[in-house]
């Protein structure tokens, strides 16, 4: 089964888990033979400690998880408990029922997001320099696409940011900024009726012409050409 999240295709096999987070866009392939469990929840449904640990709205977290062995069995048990509590709550008051679901969902998410954790050790964190840069880009890419602006704001040289980004993401820092901008442009083009001028304004471009040129230089397609191609892919 193939599935596309943010314009990247993934092949899903039995036992795999797919996590689509807020802001991401998705496209399913043929659904006739699809068999699985769908869990929908708002991040604010979880308690603060679970949000801090599982990071359900982290745009940089993995999309596909493939648990094996005991991890797979524990996740299967967790989803079974959650499904049963949701479909057969018994005589529990509504507030108690919600608390049960919140705790069971927390167990599921914490297990899923820590599949590779080493017992007794904290989860690894990305390189500190890259993590700061990544978060700054996520926050400010609609305001500036200049690497120099991020370097100045974070107190690094452009070379330091590029080295850290190359080591963590495999691309230089300027390309990282551009890829994040292009991703958001593609999201708007695929899943909104906004014109090129409206999208340009939302992404911080001074004109639709500048946006069109920027998009074409980095994708080989015009914004309208990309929108047409994506919409044709969605046709049955």
Q: Name the burial class of residue 23, with classes exposed (0-12), middle (13-18) and buried (19+) by CB atoms within 10 angstroms of its CB.
A: exposed
Residue whose C-alpha is closest to residue 57's, from 39, 43, 41, 40: 43
Q: Terminus-to-terminus CA distance in the chain, angstroms?
A: 16
Q: Which fold has domain 128-234?
A: Arc Repressor Mutant, subunit A (1.10.10)
**84-120 confidence digits (pLDDT tens):** 999 999 999 999 999 999 999 999 999 999 887 555 5
**Can you list the residues of the chain whose pLDDT is less than 50?**
236
- pLDDT of res. 16: 92
Q: pTM score > 0.85 for this model? A: no
How far apart CA 3 and CA 84 sit, in angstroms, is: 27
Tell me the backbone φ, ψ of residue 9, rounded to 5 degrees: -90, 140
CA distance 61 to 236: 31
Q: Taking the domains of the chain in order of start, what are their residue ranges?
A: 2-113, 128-234
Query: Given this model, what pLDDT does residue 27 score?
Result: 80
Instruction: Report the alpha-carbon distance of residue 190 to residue 227 in Å, rounded.
Output: 6
């Amino acid at each position: 089964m193939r599935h596309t999240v943010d314009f990247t295709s993934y092949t899903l096999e039995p036992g795999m888990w797919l996590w689509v987070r807020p802001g991401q866009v998705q496209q399913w392939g043929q659904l006739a033979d699809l068999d699985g469990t769908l869990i929908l929840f708002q991040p604010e449904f979880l308690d603060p400690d679970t949000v801090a640990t599982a990071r359900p709205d982290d745009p940089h977290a993995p999309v596909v998880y493939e648990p094996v062995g005991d991890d797979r069995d524990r996740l299967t048990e967790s989803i079974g408990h959650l499904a049963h509590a949701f479909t057969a709550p018994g005589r529990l008051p509504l507030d108690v029922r919600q608390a049960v679901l919140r705790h069971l969902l927390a167990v599921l998410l914490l297990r899923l997001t820590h599949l590779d954790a080493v017992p007794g050790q904290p989860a690894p964190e990305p390189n500190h320099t890259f993590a700061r840069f990544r978060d700054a880009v996520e926050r400010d890419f609609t305001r500036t696409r200049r690497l120099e602006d991020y370097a100045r704001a974070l107190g690094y040289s452009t070379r330091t940011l590029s080295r850290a980004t190359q080591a963590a993401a495999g691309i230089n820092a300027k390309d990282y900024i551009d890829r994040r901008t292009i991703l958001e442009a593609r999201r708007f083009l695929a899943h909104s009726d906004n014109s090129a001028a409206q999208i340009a304004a939302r992404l911080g471009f001074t004109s639709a012409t500048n946006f069109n040129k920027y998009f074409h230089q980095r994708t080989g397609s015009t914004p309208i050409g990309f929108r047409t191609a994506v919409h044709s892919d969605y046709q049955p």
